[in-house]
Amino acid sequence: MKVCALIVAAGRGSRAAAPGSSGPKQYAGLGGKALLAWTVKAFASHPRIDLVQVVIHPDDRELYNHAVGPSVGKLARPVFGGASRQSSVLAGLEAVAAAHCEQVLIHDAARPFIGADVIDRVLAGLSDGTGAIAAIKVADTLKRALGDQVGDDFACVKETVPRDGLWRAQTPQGFSVGPILAAHRKAAQSATGEFTDDASIAEWAGLRVRLVEGSIRNDKITTAEDLVLARNSIRGAIMEPRVGSGFDVHKFGPGESVWLCGVEIAHDKALIGHSDADVGLHALTDAVLGALGDGDIGHHFPPSDPQWLGARSEIFLKHAGRLVADAGGRIGNVDVTLMCEEPKVGPHRDAMRAAIAEILEIDIGRVGVKATTTERLGFTGRGEGIAAIASALVMLPCD
């Protein structure tokens, strides 16, 4: 069965324009691209959708081309809408019928955060002769106003409206193409006023319409405040990868144990340093700081400062992890390679991974610890010390 998404983007609404700008809200910038582009992508990437048909205003072809690009893959050439949403949807339905679509999901362009789960539920609710729409049960107490706003722009309450059985309709609204097209054609020829959504036309035409669970994130962007909230939301959701690397060396001296990657290992020598000389955690701390572009371990914890004398290196790594969190980011994965002839790292590898995971508050599956020798070459090969290299992938919010 061929399923089409019909995205209605022919409106002139500009209440969501950012201060100092103008134009239809569906072309407003959102996370580095047009709001409409997010909506199109949500449907084009869904495996059950075979065709995406967008309805635009005749004056917006250049804006559309810049926002969405060429008509390729699932994306059909846009069609022009009419003077009202109802007439625009009719134009889109004629196009999807000509493309031999059997089911259609009609969706507002200004709902860019439509999730695949909501699309799935609407499709599951469809059957022959029955439509299905995304909706949310009304949770707030409803008040009916007494006439228009009066005095100082305050309206007065006439009555409280029972909310039992009430739902807020969203889109997509799904139908079999034949019945909803016939209903729209009939509505266009009738003297009935404009309908507020496609489900109301279906109800008027005698079609059954099911309610399926929508999503708060699928609410419509209408005002400039809505757009600001959407931008703040997407800024935290869209992350870009940053990679950092670190390298550290510590020499051996007298002692009975070494600290490596947060684990104390019995040995006939110790690593010498201002802190506990954990070469693995030092390299990893620098890797995380490098991904942030925020200096190195010596910048944050100067060796000249006596408070860090003998300090546990987990303090340094925890600080770097906290900086990532403060920036609204998260750590993707980390990897440490220890270069030494001794002590043997293998028996302690899982304990090291667990220690790092606990310090950074990430899953152990995101932590790698390896060891290698230098084939008796160089200072590590001569047993004079241990070196470590580390890398870190950090995901940070886009600007």
Amino acid at 41: K
- Least confident window among 11-25, 157-171, 241-255, 317-331: 11-25
Are 159 and 58 a contacting pair, CB within 8 Å? Answer: no
**How many CB atoms within 10 Å of residue 113?**
20
Tell me the mean pLDDT in the region 4-8.
Answer: 98
pLDDT of 18 above 50 = no
The reported pLDDT for the residue numbered 19 is 43
Residue 182 backbone dihedrals phi, psi, to 5 degrees: -60, -40
How many angstroms from the chain centroid is the CA of residue 76? 26
User: Could you report the per-residue pLDDT of 114-170, keeping only the tens digit for each?
Assistant: 999 999 999 999 987 789 999 999 999 999 888 765 555 677 898 999 999 999 999
Query: What is the helix (H) or strand (E) element at residue 397, kind and residue range?
Result: strand 385-397
User: Of the candidates 103, 114, 104, which has an alpha carbon nearest to the alpha carbon of residue 36?
Assistant: 114
Distance CA 390, CA 279 (A): 10
User: Please, how many CA atoms are within 13 Å of residue 149, restricted to the half-sphere of its CB?
Assistant: 4
Q: pTM of the full predicted structure?
A: 0.63
The reported pLDDT for the residue numbered 237 is 65
Are 235 and 398 a contacting pair, CB within 8 Å? Answer: yes
User: Could you report the per-residue pLDDT of 309-341, keeping only the tens digit for each?
Assistant: 889 999 999 999 999 988 878 999 999 999 999
